[in-house]
Amino acid sequence: MPERYLSNEQLVPQPYFEVVMSDSDIFLGDSFRLNIVSENRGDYGDIHILSTSFPTISKIDGIVEIATYDFTQSSVHVEVGDEIGAKYSGGLESTIAKYPSIEAMNRPILPGAKNHLDLIITPEKIGIFTIYVKSIDIPHTSSLSHYPDSGILDHQDEYVLDYSVNVNP
């Protein structure tokens, strides 16, 4: 690499989010809200992605609705069977989606920037309704570039925090 490039400081964006759920128990036919505040706690970044996925359902339509969304790019709905990136590779590795998700994105992401995604979710079956949430900033330079940085791995072989609601008959 040219010396001039190597001498430049590398920026490290650092995603973070907080989740508030309206309920932990509901009855079948009722809805609950999932509110996420996502932010960059690090340096300037090219892209900030907040991914909310639903491993216990096969489709989003009729179940998950976006109530509030203030990210700079339109949301992307990933369906079962779609080809998606994997292993924090920036698209170099891919896999097939095993469950649906909604990806919110900012481009670029300034230090300290905060955005909101508020979902209304109406499960169609009794049992545990699970939601996976993660955030990734690009450039992806280290484990600081994704949140969380440990725990459960999703179908993309990337770390997620899991949230659940018990749906009663």
Question: What is the residue type of 41?
Answer: R
Q: Say whether 91 sits in a helix, a strand or coil.
A: coil
106 forms bridges with which residues in the sheet? 48
Distance from C-alpha of 88 to C-alpha of 2, rounded to nearest angstrom: 26
pLDDT (0 to 100) of residue 1: 47
CA separation, residue 77 to residues 14, 53, 66 (Å): 24, 10, 11
Q: 101-135, pLDDT tens digit by residue?
A: 999 999 999 999 999 999 999 999 999 999 999 99
Contact 117, 104 (CB under 8 A): yes
pLDDT (0 to 100) of residue 97: 98
Q: What residue ranges of the chain have pLDDT lower than 70?
A: 1-9
CA separation, residue 85 to residues 16, 49, 89 (Å): 20, 12, 7
